[in-house]
Amino acid sequence: MHETTARLFVASEEMSPGEAVTSRVAARMNIADNRVTNWKTRGISFEGAVQAEAAYGIPAAWVMYRRMPSLPSQWPFEKWVPLEAIKRLPPDSAGFIAHRPSDHTSTR
């Protein structure tokens, strides 16, 4: 199995035991089974790594390059930042942060 696909499968299994099966990975990522099967020999595409991040919360950089912890719980910082805290940051410090969708306020 290609190393990028192996990282995806290992991380998905750690997060949800029994999840590291082609059909389950494909279903959770909302893609065709054969696409995941192709990744086993060719490696996951960048688009696939981004989809894996959206589906599992596994950083795409970890899947592709093994450059970050495999699970968000192992990151040295909180995954989500409250919107109020974001608003208090100076513009040059607010670069790469995220907040929960429920923290969005409507502008209508």
Per-residue pLDDT at 62: 82
**Which CATH architecture fits 3-70?**
Orthogonal Bundle (1.10)
pLDDT in tens, 65-91: 887 655 556 555 555 556 677 677 776
For 11-27, the pLDDT digits (tens) are: 888 887 888 888 899 99
Domain boundaries, the chain: 3-70, 77-108
Check if the beta carbon of residue 39 is closer than 8 Å to that of residue 79.
Answer: no
Contacts of 64 (CB under 8 A, 6+ apart): 4, 44, 46, 49
Mean pLDDT on 48-72: 80
What's the pTM?
0.59
